[in-house]
């Protein structure tokens, strides 16, 4: 799979996984990282885009774990 396609799929997955997360501050922060990923993807800076979207996923995953408790 090429880099651009992989990042686009990760961005789509982010928007699905963020639904239902109850912490608006973390959702906003993670969404900003996702938007950064989209920005860098347009510039074809795949390394930075990949880093941004992974950070966004990490924030949402951590909040989901905390919300499970």
Q: Please tell me the predicted confidence (pLDDT) of residue 56.
A: 98
CATH of domain 3-13+23-68: 1.20.1270.90
Per residue in 9-60, pLDDT (tens digit) is 999 999 999 998 999 999 999 999 999 999 999 999 999 999 999 999 999 9
Domain residue ranges in the chain: 3-13+23-68
pTM for this entry: 0.93
The label of the residue with tokens 């990923």 reads 37
Confirm if 2 and 14 have CB atoms less than 8 A apart. no
Q: What is the model's pLDDT at position 54?
A: 98
Element (H or E) spanning 49, and its range?
helix 46-68
Q: Is 4 left (phi over 0), alpha (psi -120 to 50) or beta?
A: alpha
Residue 46 DSSP label: H
């Amino acid at each position: 799979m090429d880099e651009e396609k992989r990042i686009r799929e990760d961005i789509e997955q982010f928007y699905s996984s963020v639904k239902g997360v109850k912490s608006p501050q973390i959702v906003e922060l993670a969404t900003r990282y996702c938007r950064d990923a989209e920005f860098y993807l347009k510039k074809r800076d795949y390394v930075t885009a990949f880093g941004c979207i992974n950070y966004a996923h990490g924030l949402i995953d951590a909040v989901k774990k905390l919300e499970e408790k």
